[in-house]
Structure 1
Amino acid sequence: MARKDIMEVNLKKTSSESVRPLFTPEVSDSLSGLDIPDTLVEDLILRRLYTTGTNSLKALSQALKLSYSVVQEIFERLRKEQFFEIKGMQDRDYIFTLSGKGQEFARKSYEMCRYVGPAPVSLDAYRNAVMAQKGKVSVNRSSLRSLFSDLVLTDNLLDQLGPALNSQNSIFLYGSTGNGKTSLASRMARIYDDVIAVPYAVEFDRQIIVVYDPVFHERVDTAVQAIDPRWVLCRRPCVIVGGELTANMLELKMDESTGVYAAPLQMKANNGMFVIDDFGRQILSPEYLLNRWIVPLDRRVDYLSLTYGVKFEIPFQETVVFSTNFDPSKLADEAFLRRIQNKIYVEPVGPEVFDQIFIRVVENKNLKSEPGSSKFLRNLCSELMGRELRACYPDDIITIIEAISAYEEVPVLISKDNLKRAADIYFTQTLTVTDT
């Protein structure tokens, strides 16, 4: 997961003027239209004032992503109960703070939950949004080659990958290490050219679950009409995890210091892709993950639990991509593999593809290469080292040459001597152990 090709994922950009979301939640001008408990909104406003002090209706509206009229409705209600002290007016807007009574109520609410961010949407609204925003994919060999133009891929691989992506069912990429499975998986979200609405948070049983995550949800500005500000327009997410994946990342997790839940990774990946890289090398066992997801993969729903045992259902509308160096039959039983309909073998590269990758690496790095360098490197990797050709070798070995050149303070030159020197550093040698 530390490979730079993950960090360099550059999803296809979309013109903001041409985008129209599949789901456009309307702005609610009344408290009843929010579809969440009135008292939850009241508590949210009180907690916000408790942490910020003096505020205005406009500032609260902007911070909590609620319409001005909704905030005003709550303000008038709590004002009658003497929860506020009016400090003055500014541009026809009240400037106010909590009264002693308001402070006491807000303190009790804050002790139970410290969430003061954007107002949540209801669980039903979230479910409806996910189902309304199912991805629609239609790619052919030509369009797929264009989307993956920064990779060197064979027609055979594209012809397996295309139907798999069109099906939007789970995908199992397998094959020996270093042949581009991670690079391929991390770019698959390029097939989407639309945007979706993601809620900042979801409410269920008066509990708040934070869903929007700027790490995975890339905001976009579009020319569509105003939507409910509790939702964020984003590109479809591509969540990538590797060996760091643990069981608790797949469950609701409450921060005991705040009383707020964080959505699990598969919830953040809804309407997009969830890539599990280096499958089989996680801290959790493959058996655990397979048992945990056998129902979601089959029925497209998942079940989550609050800390006190109450369970609820969410959609599982995402394409899951497993990438592994292991034999799939040794990682999963037949029942699970049957639920992953697309199994794609990413084979070692041949001489022609190896040379194409070599040339592209040299060109992208704007380096000079002696004639015959690619063939010489092929011989080093296959004949001399007794290894199959792998897609990662050109970039990895040329990177070592760059480091050597920097160390010796000389221009970078891809020569046979430098390739041999870099290969000696890159490949391990067989050690002969002698008894003493």
Structure 2
Amino acid sequence: MQLQQDPIEPFASFESLEISIAKGPAGPESVLHSISGLDVREAILEDIALKIIYLSGPFTLLDLAAHARISFDAAEQLFSRLRGKVLCSVTGMVGNVPEIAITSQGRTRALELLAQCQYAGPMPVSLESYVAQVRRQGFNNLRIHAADVERAFADLVFDQHTLNQFGTALNSGAPIFLYGPPGAGKSAAAERLSRALSEDEVYIPHAIEIDGQIITVFDPVLHHPVDQSATTPRRSTNRDERWVRCKRPHVLVGGELTIEMLDLQYNPAARYYTGPAQMKANNGVLIIDDFGRQRIAPEDLLNRWVVPLDRRIEFLTLAGGRKIEIPFEMLVVFATNRDPATILDAAFLRRIQTKIHLGEISAGHFHRIFDQVAGNLNLRATPEVVDEIIHLIRHCYHQELRACQPRDLINQVCWAARYEDREPVLDLTTLTRAAESYFLPSH
């Protein structure tokens, strides 16, 4: 996986860019030093600044710049406009920096604005800037090599053929279908696919503005900043801090997924939107776990995403009915323990071009996984004991060997030891007892 020397920043030139796991996006500093360069209507910037002063002030002009994530010069211009409208005033000086506070007229106006929309966070970017940045950070020129896959899957045991399939799938950037029986490692594999991209960095905006409406995008639960201080207000740097430099995101949704969750989430109390899961997953990985068991039928989900999966564009609807177009630039991973042919028709199976089956593991892989799990707990079992457990699973319980079984059996041993107030030991007796609790009786 080739890494570029310097991060790619919002609004920079991308004419000769090749993303071979690029380190991410902030642009010519000149666009950051005036409110006209912030690509959002000045009236909206003023309204947000006034709400920030009302809710967090009084403070200095530097503090306003830090809360709004804009440059000092841009904050000074906004303050001058608000001061000219008698909405705020200078109350003193801290060194050479004005200390500012809201006026009674400004307080009245701020309350009116908060009744319309309570967003008072970092200044948003425009939809156009967001679309352009996501496209720049896309997967078109992605280069993943064997070393990247081996690093990502270092803590799991897979054969080389399967690892090669994972690497090929990552380079395609196209949807991936992982299928196989429960316990085969599908969810773990899906999560590790995102680790193959973990050295890559992208820029994610705090919020987007569309026709006066605010959509929040950055989610501290799902997005992991490279600079941890990026999530707290601070004095603005030369970079456009409306964008947060993060690792490529990975978003996991499971059985809780509904059709409504795929559209913008409007908060009627706060009166602004939160981006849906696929928007937060842009430039990263979206994992649909336990596909086919959602509260939305598989065909309804895929009908909803026919265009996004083919054309990499998505349409979202604002409360007034207006539709907006955003990029659908992510690696979508479907993981299921159901037969794909029973939940998808041929047309959808064609759209999901990479299908990887994870099933029974070999005795050798069982040994490797068992040793790895036991070693992590400072435990050990002899190869002969593990062979006896393999025989027990196959011939007494008539079960296939699954990747989850070593971990689950060792957990059973540790829980029993805790109950009996002793140190866990992995011998034939304890593991046989564990198997009795874990497997259903064979008939």
Normalising by structure 2, report the TM-score.
Answer: 0.90
Higher alpha-carbon deviation: 360-369 or 262-271: 360-369
The runs of 5 or more residues in structure 2 that have no matched partner are 9-22, 229-236
2:206 corresponds, among 174, 184, 200, to 200
Give the match for residue 74 of structure 2.
Answer: 70
Higher alpha-carbon deviation: 261-270 or 347-356: 347-356
| Counterpart-to-counterpart distance in 2, 1:340 and 1:16 | 30
Instruction: Report 1:285-434 matches (<5 A).
Output: 285-429=297-441
Helix, strand or coil for the counterpart of 2:92? strand
Give the match for residue 218 of structure 2.
Answer: 212
Q: Is the 8 A contact 1:357 1:394 kept in 2?
A: yes
Higher alpha-carbon deviation: 190-199 or 46-55: 46-55
Per-residue Cα deviation, 1:138-160 (whole angstroms, up to 9, x for no partner): 33445422331111101121122
Give the match for residue 175 of structure 1.
Answer: 180
Higher alpha-carbon deviation: 23-32 or 394-403: 23-32
| Counterpart-to-counterpart distance in 2, 1:24 and 1:218 | 17
Helix, strand or coil for the counterpart of 2:122? coil
Per-residue Cα deviation, 1:75-130 (whole angstroms, up to 9, x for no partner): 11221221123321111222222222211211111100011100000000000000
| Counterpart-to-counterpart distance in 2, 1:53 and 1:220 | 29
1:315 to partner: Cα distance:
0.4
| Counterpart-to-counterpart distance in 2, 1:16 and 1:88 | 47
Give the match for residue 119 of structure 1.
Answer: 123
In structure 2, give the amino acid aligned to 1:169.
A
Per-residue Cα deviation, 1:263-311 (whole angstroms, up to 9, x for no partner): 0110111111101111111122212211111110011000001011011
The runs of 5 or more residues in structure 1 that have no matched partner are 1-11, 432-436
Q: 1:86 to 1:143 in 2, by over 3 A?
A: closer
Helix, strand or coil for the counterpart of 1:82? coil
| Counterpart-to-counterpart distance in 1, 2:6 and 2:242 | 23
Helix, strand or coil for the counterpart of 1:413? coil
Q: Is the 8 A contact 1:147 1:191 kept in 2?
A: yes
Q: Is the 8 A contact 2:285 2:330 kept in 1?
A: yes
Q: Is the 8 A contact 2:176 2:352 kept in 1?
A: yes
Percent identity of equivalent pairs: 40
1:179 to partner: Cα distance:
1.0
| Counterpart-to-counterpart distance in 1, 2:386 and 2:144 | 33
1:152 corresponds, among 147, 151, 157, to 157
| Counterpart-to-counterpart distance in 2, 1:115 and 1:84 | 19
Q: Is the 8 A contact 2:174 2:332 kept in 1?
A: yes
Higher alpha-carbon deviation: 260-269 or 332-341: 332-341
| Counterpart-to-counterpart distance in 2, 1:142 and 1:129 | 28
Give the match for residue 4 of structure 1.
Answer: none
Normalising by structure 1, report the TM-score.
Answer: 0.91
Q: 1:362 to 1:58 in 2, by over 3 A?
A: same
Q: 1:96 to 1:145 in 2, by over 3 A?
A: closer
Give the match for residue 109 of structure 2.
Answer: 105
Helix, strand or coil for the counterpart of 1:173? strand
1:16 to partner: Cα distance:
12
| Counterpart-to-counterpart distance in 1, 2:146 and 2:122 | 43
| Counterpart-to-counterpart distance in 2, 1:168 and 1:97 | 51
| Counterpart-to-counterpart distance in 2, 1:363 and 1:18 | 39
**Structure 1 segments of 4+ aligned residues over 6 angstroms from their partners:** 14-18
Q: 1:194 to 1:339 in 2, by over 3 A?
A: same
Between the two proteins, the alignment pairs up a number of residues equal to 417
Give the match for residue 97 of structure 2.
Answer: 93
Q: 1:32 to 1:325 in 2, by over 3 A?
A: same
Give the match for residue 26 of structure 2.
Answer: 24
Q: CA RMSD in A?
A: 2.1
Helix, strand or coil for the counterpart of 1:106? helix
Q: Is the 8 A contact 1:198 1:211 kept in 2?
A: yes
1:22 to partner: Cα distance:
4.1
| Counterpart-to-counterpart distance in 2, 1:143 and 1:101 | 59
